[in-house]
Amino acid sequence: MNWTPAALSQDIPSGSAAPGQLGDKDIVIWRSASGRIAAWSDRCPHRGMRLSHGFVRGEFLSCIYHGWRYGDGGQCHRIPAHPELTPPDAIKVPVFAVTESDGVVWVAQKDAEPEAPPPGLAGFSPLRTLRLSARPETVAAAFGGTGLDLRGELGGCAVVVLIQPLPDDQCNLHALAANGADTATLDRVSAALEALRRQAETAEEIAA
C-alpha cells in the first residue's frame, strides 16, 4: 500500500481537529498546540462518538460527548466523570500512520506503513481540497491524465492534483500550484478546479 493524501496541512492548524478518511475508514486528523499531527480512528471507544467533533487542548484531543481526553498514541489520559481515575492502558483509540511533506498530510494503516516516502512535490504549494461525486478515473479523464497523481496545467499554471478515492464513488482532490504563482493566477486555478469538478460530475451522471 502507498501513502494516501488525506488533507492539506494548511487546513489543520495547531489546536484543531478535522474529519478525514482512509479508504472506507473514518479518521480524525488533528494537530496539537505544539504542532504535532496525528491521524486516529474517528471514534471514541467509550460511546462511539466521532472524535473529529472534539476539541484540542494542548497536546490532547478530547471527545465532545463526555470529555474523555486522549494523548500520544491514542492513549486515554483522563475521564472527567472520574477525575481521580487513571484510565487503564486498554482505553486507547486505534491510530494510523501519518506523515507530512510539502504541505500535504498523508496517512496509511499502522501495520502497513509504506516503506517509500510519499511522492515529492517540490516546486508546488498547497492550494485547496475539493470533494466531488465522481470516480477517480472519471476525474483523471476529465483532467486529461491517468492514475491518482495528476500533473499538468490548469488556469495557466503548473499544478499537481492528488486524487484521494473515497467510498460511494466520491473522491477528494488535493490541489497544489506552482510555487510563486500570484493571487490572480491562483484564483484562476481555483476556478479551473471548480470547472474540472463540474465536468467530472457531469460525465459521471451521463455514465450512470
Length of the chain: 208
Which residues of the chain form contacts with other proteins (CB under 8 A)?
Answer: 7-8, 10-11, 13, 15-16, 18-19, 26, 42-43, 45-50, 52-53, 55-58, 60, 62-67, 69, 77-86, 90-91, 127-131, 172, 183, 186-187, 190-191, 194
Q: Which is nearer to other proteins, 114 or 169 (CB)?
A: 169
Q: Which is nearer to other proteins, 93 or 108 (CB)?
A: 93
Q: Which grid coordinates are listed for 152?
A: 499538468
Least separation in angstroms between residue 103's CB and other proteins is 13
Q: Which is nearer to other proteins, 148 or 186 (CB)?
A: 186
* Amino acid, single-letter form, for residue 125: S
Q: Which is nearer to other proteins, 121 or 186 (CB)?
A: 186
Q: Which grid coordinates are listed for 48?
A: 462511539
Least separation in angstroms between residue 97's CB and other proteins is 21
Least separation in angstroms between residue 20's CB and other proteins is 8
Q: What is the CA radius of gyration of the chain?
A: 19
Q: Say how far apart CA 170 and CA 138 lie, in whole Å.
A: 10
SS3 of residue 142 by DSSP? helix
Q: Which is nearer to other proteins, 85 or 207 (CB)?
A: 85
Cβ burial, residue 89 (10 Å; 0-12/13-18/19+): exposed
Least separation in angstroms between residue 80's CB and other proteins is 4
Q: Say how far apart CA 47 and CA 66 lie, in whole Å.
A: 9
Q: Say how far apart CA 35 and CA 23 lie, in whole Å.
A: 25
> Of 184, 140, 179, 177, whose CA–CA distance to 158 is shortest?
177
Least separation in angstroms between residue 116's CB and other proteins is 27
Q: Which is nearer to other proteins, 55 or 149 (CB)?
A: 55
Least separation in angstroms between residue 12's CB and other proteins is 8
